[in-house]
Amino acid sequence: MELLTALRTTGAIRSFTDQAVTDELIAEILDVARFAPSGGNRQPWRVAVVRDRAIRAELARLMQPTWDEYIAARASGQAPFNPVDYAAPTEVTAAPNELLDTLVDAPAVLVIAADLSQVAAMDLELDRLPLVSGASVYPFCWSVLLAAHHHGLGGVLTTFLARSEPEATALLDLPADHAISAMVVLGVPVTRPIRLRRRPVHEFTTVDRFSGTPLASPTDQHDP
C-alpha cells in the first residue's frame, strides 16, 4: 500500500467480518511493526496475542466500567479522564460497546505492554503528568495498525485496559515493571471509512513559538 495513502486512511475500525486472522498473519504484521522507533532503540514492547475466550471475556468485563464512565463523562461535556480538570461523573450507567460486546469473537486481540525498565521517562520530574515514555511504545502500536491495513485488515487501538492494570496483570501474567499500554483489536473491516475527520495543519502549527502565526500549508487537501 502506498505510504501516504495509508497514513491518511488508517481510521479506527471496530466492526469485523467473521474472516479469521491467523497467527502467521499477526506475526507478519508484527515483523513490520518491530521497525518502529523507540527511545535509545530499547524496543520496550511486549505483545500478548490473546486467543483464549475466557481471558477475552474477562478483558471485556474489566474494560466495561471505564467505557461506561467515558460515555457519562462525555455526555456531561468533559474530555474524559483528562489530567487537567476531569471530574468523575456522579451518575454512570451501563453503555453498550460493540467492540467489548463482541471481543470474545474478534478475529485478533493483542495486548501491548511496555517494559518500564527500558523506557526513558524524560519528563518524570516535572510537575505534570509524565507523557514522554509512552512515545517508546505507541509508534509501535500505530505501525501494527498501518501494517494491518496493508494486509487488508483494520483495527483500533484502545487504552481502557490500563485503568484495570492490576487485574490485567494477574490475568495475563504481565511481568513486574511492565505497563499495559494498549489493546489492539484487528480483523477484516465490515466497512472502511474513506475520509477521516482531522484538524487542518494551520489549526495546530505555528511559526517560531506556539503563540506564532499559523504555518501556511495546503490545509484542506482532500483525502484520497
Under DSSP, the state recorded for 214 is B
- Identify which range of 30-38, 81-89, 156-164, 205-213 contacts ligand FMN by CB under 6 A: 156-164
157 binds ligand FMN (CB under 6 A): yes
156 binds ligand FMN (CB under 6 A): yes
- Identify which range of 7-15, 17-25, 33-41, 167-175 contacts ligand FMN by CB under 6 A: 7-15
| Nearest distance from C-beta of residue 103 to ligand FMN, angstroms | 11
| Nearest distance from C-beta of residue 100 to ligand FMN, angstroms | 9
- Cα four-point dihedral sign 110, 116, 121, 127: positive
The identity of residue 146, as a single letter, is: L
C-alpha cell at 55: 481471558
First to last CA, the chain: 13
- Identify which range of 83-91, 122-130, 144-152, 153-161 contacts ligand FMN by CB under 6 A: 153-161
133 binds ligand FMN (CB under 6 A): no
Q: How far apart are alpha carbons 52 and 56 in whole angstroms?
A: 6
Residue 32 has phi, psi (to 5 degrees) of: -85, -45
Nearest residue to 44 (alpha-carbon basis) of 104, 120, 96, 99: 120
Site residues, ligand FMN (CB under 6 A): 11-12, 14, 99, 156-160, 193, 196-197
